[in-house]
Structure 1
Amino acid sequence: MKPNLRTKLAASAAAIALACTAGSASAQQMLSTWLEPNHIITIEGHQGWAELVKEATNGEIDFEVFVGGALIPAKSTMQGTADGLAQVGFHTATYTPTDLPVANALADMGFETPDAYVMSFAFGDFMMNDEEGYNDWRKNGVIFGGSYSTPIYYFICREPVKTLEDIQGKRVRMPGGGWARFGQEIGVVGVNVPSSEIYTAFERGSVDCTASDPTHLTSGATLQEVAKSVTLLKMSPFYAGVTYAYNPTFWQGLSEEQRRTLFDQSALAMARMQITYDKAVESSLEEAKANGIEMVEPDASLQSAYDDWVAGGVGGMADIAKDTHGIDDPEALYSRFREYVAKWEGLLDGVDRHDEEAIAGLIRENLFDPIDVATYGID
Structure 2
Amino acid sequence: MDCRKFLYTAALGVGLSATINVGVTQADTLRFAVGFPSGAPIEAAKKYAESVKENTNNEHSVKIYELSLLNHSEMSSGISQGMADLGYLLTAYSPSDYPHSNLGADMSMQTALQGDVLGREGYAYSGAMLEYIMLNCPECQNEFSSNNQVYTSVVSTPAYVMFCNEPVKSAEDLKGKRMRISGAPWARWVKDFGGSPVALPITEIYEALEQGVVDCTFLSPTELTNFNLIDVVKNITTDVPGGLYAAGGAATLNRDTWNRFNDEEKEAMLKAGSVMAAYVTFLYQEQAHSDMEKARSKGINIIEADSDLLERSREFIKSDLEFIPEFYSGEYGIDSKRTRELADTMSSLIKKWNGLVGDIETADQLAELYWSEVYSKLEPSSYGK
TM-score, scaled to structure 1: 0.87
Q: 1:277 to 1:73 in 2, by over 3 A?
A: closer
1:286-308 Cα distance to aligned partner (Å, 9 max, x none): 11112111111101221122111
Q: Which residue of 1 aligns with 2:40?
A: 40
| 1:64 matched residue in structure 2 | 63
1:82-93 to 2 correspondence within 5 Å?
Answer: 82-93=80-91
Task: Tell me which residue corresponds to 1:297.
Answer: 304
The answer (yes or no) to whether the contact 1:33–1:65 under 8 Å persists in 2 is: yes
Paired letter, 1:351: D
What corresponds to 1:162 in structure 2? 169
After TM superposition, where is structure 1 displaced by more than 6 Å over at least 4 residues in a row?
none
Instruction: Say whether the 8 Å CA contact 2:98–2:140 is kept in structure 1.
Output: no
Alpha-carbon distance in structure 2 between the residues aligned to 1:125 and 1:366 = 8
Q: Is the CA contact (8 Å cut-off) linking 1:88 and 1:244 kept in structure 2?
A: yes
Alpha-carbon distance between aligned partners in 1 of 2:122 and 2:65, rounded to the nearest angstrom: 26
* Percent identity over paired residues: 27
Do the aligned residues in 2 keep the contact of 1:28 with 1:61 (CA within 8 Å)?
yes
Task: Report if the CA contact (8 A) 2:47-2:279 is conserved.
Answer: no
Aligned-partner Cα distance in 1 for 2:154–2:237: 28
1:351 aligns with 2:351: no
Instruction: Give the CA deviation at 1:39.
Output: 2.9
Task: Give distance in 2, aligned partners of 1:324 and 1:25.
Answer: 47
Aligned partner of 2:351: which letter?
A
- Deviation, structure 1 residue 315: 7.9
Give the distance between the partners of 1:163 and 1:20, measured in 2 at CA.
Answer: 66
The aligned residue for residue 32 of structure 2 is 31
Shift of 1:356: 2.8
Paired letter, 1:161: V
**Residues 24, 177 of structure 1: alpha-carbon distance in 2 compared, 3 angstrom cutoff:** farther
Distance 1:268 1:76 in 2: 25
**1:320-359 aligned within 5 A:** 320-328=327-335, 329=337, 330-348=339-357, 350-352=358-360, 354-359=361-366
Question: In structure 1, how many angstroms separate the alpha carbons of the residues matched to 2:187 and 2:295?
Answer: 26
1:163-312 to 2 correspondence within 5 Å?
A: 163-217=170-224, 219-234=225-240, 235-312=242-319
CA shift, 1:111, in A, is 0.7
Residues 298, 177 of structure 1: CA spacing in aligned structure 2 closer, same or farther, 3 A cutoff? same
Superimposed CA distance per residue, residues 183-216 of structure 1 (whole angstroms, 9 cap, x where no aligned partner): 1111112222211111111221222111111112
Find the aligned partners of 1:286 and 1:333 in 2 and give their Cα distance. Answer: 38
SS at 2:213 equivalent: coil
What is the deviation of 1:79? 2.6
Aligned in 2, Cα 1:268/1:107: closer, same or farther, shift over 3 Å? closer
Select between 268-277 and 143-152 the one with higher mean Cα deviation: 268-277
**Once structures 1 and 2 are overlaid, which stretch shifts more, 285-294 or 24-33?**
24-33
Aligned CA-pair RMSD:
2.3
2-structure distance, mates of 1:244, 1:257: 18
SS in 2 for 1:298: coil
Does the C-alpha gap of structure 1 residues 26 and 223 become closer, same or farther in structure 2, counting only changes over 3 Å? Answer: same
Structure 1 gaps of 5+ residues are: 1-18
Deviation string 1:101-149 (CA, Å, 9 cap, x unpaired) is 1012223211112421111111112111122222221222211111110
Aligned-partner Cα distance in 1 for 2:346–2:91: 17
8 Å contact 1:112–1:310 — kept in the other structure? yes
* 1:197-249 Cα deviation digits (max 9, x unpaired): 111112212221111111122x1222222122111124111001111211222
SS at match of 2:226: coil
Task: Kindly state the Cα deviation for residue 47 of structure 1 after the two structures are TM-superposed.
Answer: 2.9
TM-score of the aligned structures, taking structure 2 as reference length: 0.86
Assess, with a 3 A threshold, how the Cα gap between structure 1 residues 228 and 135 changes in structure 2: closer, same or farther: same
8 A contact 1:81–1:89 mirrored in 2:
yes
Q: Figure out how many residues of one structure are paired with residues of the other and give that number.
A: 354
In structure 1, how many angstroms separate the alpha carbons of the residues matched to 2:210 and 2:192? Answer: 27
Structure 2, unmatched stretches of 5+, are: 1-19, 113-120
Measure how far apart 1:72 and its partner are.
3.0
Look up the match of 2:79: 81
Partner of 1:11: none
Cα deviation 1:323-365 (Å, max 9, x = unaligned) = 11222122111112223223322322x313x323321211111
Residue 154 (structure 1) shift: 0.6
Q: Provide the rounded CA distance (Å) in 2 between the counterparts of 1:254 and 1:342.
A: 35
Q: Which residue in the other structure is 2:122 paired with?
A: 116
Q: What is the DSSP-based 3-state SS (H/G/I as helix, E as strand, rest coil) of the residue aligned with 1:32?
A: strand
Counterpart CA distance in 1 for 2:66 and 2:92 is: 19
Cα offsets for 1:46-69 (capped at 9, x unmatched): 23312331243243221222222x
Provide the C-alpha distance between the structure 2 equivalents of 1:222 and 1:79, rounded to a whole number of angstroms.
30
Q: Residue 24 of structure 1: CA displacement?
A: 7.4
Aligned counterparts of 2:110 and 2:75: Cα–Cα separation in 1: 29
User: What is the aligned partner in structure 1 of residue 48 from structure 2?
Assistant: 49
